[in-house]
Structure 1
Amino acid sequence: MRVSEAMTPDVYVASANETIQEAARMMAGLDAGVLPVGDHDRLVGMITDRDIAIRGVAEGKGPDAKVRDVMTVDVKYCFEDQDLDEVTRNMGDIQVRRLPVVDRSKRLVGIVSLGDVAIVDGNGKAGEALSGISRPGGKHSQTR
């Protein structure tokens, strides 16, 4: 199975120039905890509710702080035509629950989550990845 068969294709993309309050409102409206951050049609970062809380509020930044000031710039992603099992294993290894999905021109085409994987793939790969993700630390960990 390919990533494109499991991903969510409709993804809101935040701007690095938006405020963290605007990003948080969008997350609330979408019932999502993560947004890709784009510059025109290129992916330049990811912002999570945790980024807003830890890198924003906990460091004294107010609601008018810019997304670029708290986002993760080391973006991990996958390709829409990659094998879903391979990507799911990788998510466990790099300890992320969601990955932006790009085409071979590196344009954002969707996002894939462990929830998406669990729905379409009943072979337990989502649970295996979650076991890896639940280890302390990881690429998107706030404890550097």
Structure 2
Amino acid sequence: MPGTRDAAGPLRAQDIMTGGAHCVGAHETLRDAARMMRDMNVGCLPICGDNNRLTGMITDRDIVIQCCADGIDPATVQAGSMAGPVHWIDAAASAREVLDSMEKHQVKRLPVIDVRAGHQLVGMITEADLAKKLSKTQVGEFAEQVYATA
């Protein structure tokens, strides 16, 4: 059954996530971020600082609404200037903790950090990941909490 594991133990964030997340550097431009999103076919990127640590998230919508819509050239704005509060989950967190965090913070994408491996970004959990790995009941609860209250 999705959302649980048997002999291996409960489903964890690392089991749900898509691995290999790439960061846009805080000093890279929004144009660079947009190109990365296009090339990777994603709508969101983590922003990492000089120490390679997660400092924020940026979406394609952020670039359009907070930059392009105001006539600002995306080549003149650093991605780090768009970094706001960032919510993440430890790779060892349970599926329940993943859902609780996404619901509490009303987010549809959640970076996964391996705390035991020096706080390294190891992946992202998206709505598609939830749909693939969790039960219909869990996905329905997530959708109700994030979309119905948005």
- Bin of the TM-score, shorter chain as denominator length: 0.7 to 0.9
Deviation, 1:126, is 2.1
User: 1:90 and 2:101 equivalent?
Assistant: yes
Deviation, 1:90, is 2.2
The structure with the greater share of residues assigned to helix is 2
Give the TM-score of the pair, scaled to structure 2.
0.83
Aligned to 1:141: none
Deviation, 1:136, is 5.7
- 2:36 maps to amino acid: M
The list of structure 1 runs, each at least 4 consecutive aligned residues, that deviate by more than 4 angstroms after superposition, is none
Aligned to 2:80: 68
Greater C-alpha radius of gyration: 2
Aligned to 1:121: 134
Distance in 1, matches of 2:33 and 2:52, equals 18
Aligned to 2:29: 19
Give the TM-score of the pair, scaled to structure 1.
0.86
- Identity over aligned residues, as a percent? 35
Aligned to 2:124: 111
User: 1:45 and 2:41 equivalent?
Assistant: no
How many pairs does the alignment contain? 136
Distance in 1, matches of 2:143 and 2:83, equals 21
Deviations 1:61-105 (A, max 9, x none): 212122123x23210000000001221132122111110000123
Deviation, 1:20, is 0.8
Which ranges in structure 1 are unaligned for 5 or more consecutive residues? Answer: 138-144
Distance in 2, matches of 1:88 and 1:103, equals 18
Which ranges in structure 2 are unaligned for 5 or more consecutive residues? Answer: 1-10
| Larger mean Cα displacement after TM superposition, 111-120 or 121-130 | 121-130
